[in-house]
């Protein structure tokens, strides 16, 4: 009996690993079924992407460098200086678009949380009622999003700007930037997770932003290993699916272009169509793939949160009961 005692930690470790792996596989499976079973969620996922730009995949025939070469920066600045009314109009339009993008992106994040939570409870969609519920969380979630972005920018500036202005040696500067990058990744991961879980507490539990931030911080600190495990699994699935999907879309684009070139007569209109149509279709498919992956990613994180929050609530209730049952100290 005593000779087997040394095996006990290994059995406990094996049980914990199997439990977490089973939990992760179930979360990924449920997220997969919800994502594909309710395509209306893809619309919200599309706007959650925000300003994500996929032109780096060279689906366009005009490269960024060529575009920059054709833009006369000095002439453009001179034009705006001489036409301050147009500069004000352009600036106001950019500001308006930025505010609109901020609102619509965060509103779609809220809708994803509410709709998926409703699907888990009722196994059905009720978009209209969730739209009504979403308006109460918009401003707190936007505040948290702005605070998170600002904090990440501050961290990035603190880690990467000093070597640029203080250190003259290029090798030492590169080393400091590498160290900064190593520190930046876990810090950004922590900030992003706290941001996500804060919004969950605000949206699902109607908590005030300050209280939700404290709850989310405590939640992350107590469950960071499970969160990190799912994040690694999600990134692996995300990157693999994205790479395979983009490869297939790119192959289809080349095949369709070759077919168009063979079947269409050589005119200016046909050449333009051969260039534009495959690019437009490819970009639409890329955005659709990213929207689906966004829904899958957000759904899996919400499922993990809902699964882990139950034991925490149970532990808090036990603590409260123990505190009530404890004898009052005598004065």
Distance CA 59, CA 42 (A): 22
Q: 132 with 107: CB under 8 angstroms? A: no
Q: 151 with 191: CB under 8 angstroms? A: yes
Distance CA 331, CA 317 (A): 27
What's the pLDDT score for residue 278?
A: 78
Distance CA 118, CA 164 (A): 49
Q: 59 with 253: CB under 8 angstroms? A: yes
Structure tokens at 191: 């900030």
Query: pTM (2 decimals)?
Result: 0.75
Q: 189 with 231: CB under 8 angstroms? A: yes
What's the pLDDT score for residue 67?
A: 44
Distance CA 324, CA 38 (A): 45
Residues of the chain short of pLDDT 50, as ranges, are: 1-4, 7-8, 10-21, 50-71, 314-315, 317-319, 321-322, 325, 330-331
Q: 188 with 152: CB under 8 angstroms? A: yes
Nearest CA-CA partner of 308 in 212, 226, 237, 218 = 226
72 three-class SS:
coil
- For the chain, the residue count is 331
Q: What is the DSSP letter of 52?
A: -
CA angle in degrees (0–180, nearest 5) for 278-283-287: 150
Q: 141 with 202: CB under 8 angstroms? A: yes
Per-residue three-class SS string for 122-176: HCCCCHHHHHHHHCCCHHHHHHHHHHHHHHHHHHHHHHHHHHHHHCCCHHHHHHH
Please give the C-alpha separations between residue 24 and each of 28, 45, 305, in angstroms, as whole numbers.
6, 22, 12
What's the pLDDT score for residue 6?
A: 53
Distance CA 300, CA 189 (A): 16
Q: 31 with 296: CB under 8 angstroms? A: yes
Which residue matches tokens 């699994």? 233
Which residue matches tokens 């001489």? 82
Please give the C-alpha separations between residue 213 and each of 39, 133, 301, 328, in angstroms, as whole numbers.
32, 20, 17, 33
User: Which tens digit of pLDDT belongs to each residue from 110-156?
Assistant: 999 999 999 998 877 778 889 888 888 999 999 999 999 999 999 99
């Amino acid at each position: 009996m005593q000779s087997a005692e040394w095996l006990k930690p290994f059995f406990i470790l094996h049980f914990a690993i199997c439990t977490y792996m089973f939990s992760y596989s179930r979360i990924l499976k449920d997220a997969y079924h919800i994502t594909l079973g309710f395509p209306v969620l893809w619309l919200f996922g599309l706007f959650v992407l925000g300003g994500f730009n996929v032109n780096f995949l060279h689906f366009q025939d005009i490269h960024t460098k060529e575009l920059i070469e054709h833009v006369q920066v000095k002439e453009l600045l001179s034009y705006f200086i001489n036409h301050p009314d147009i500069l004000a109009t352009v600036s106001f339009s950019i500001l308006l678009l930025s505010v609109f993008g901020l609102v619509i992106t965060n509103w779609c994040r809220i809708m994803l949380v509410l709709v998926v939570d409703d699907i888990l409870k009722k196994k059905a969609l009720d978009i209209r009622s969730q739209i009504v519920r979403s308006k109460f969380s918009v401003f707190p979630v936007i505040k948290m999003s702005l605070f998170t972005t600002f904090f990440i920018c501050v961290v990035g500036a603190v880690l990467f700007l000093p070597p640029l202005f203080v250190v003259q040696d290029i090798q030492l500067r590169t080393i400091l930037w590498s160290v900064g990058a190593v520190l930046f990744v876990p810090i950004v991961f922590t900030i992003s997770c706290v941001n996500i879980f804060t919004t969950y507490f605000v949206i699902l539990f109607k908590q005030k932003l300050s209280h939700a931030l404290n709850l989310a911080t405590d939640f992350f600190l107590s469950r960071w290993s499970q969160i990190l495990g799912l994040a690694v699994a999600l990134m692996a699935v995300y990157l693999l699916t994205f790479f395979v999907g983009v490869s297939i879309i790119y192959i289809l684009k080349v095949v369709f272009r070759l077919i168009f070139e063979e079947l269409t007569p050589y005119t200016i209109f046909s050449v333009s169509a051969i260039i534009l149509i495959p690019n437009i279709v490819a970009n639409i498919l890329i955005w659709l793939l990213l929207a689906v992956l966004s829904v899958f990613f957000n759904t899996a994180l919400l499922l993990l949160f809902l699964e882990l929050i139950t034991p925490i609530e149970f532990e808090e209730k036990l603590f409260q009961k123990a505190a009530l049952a404890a004898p009052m100290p005598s004065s």
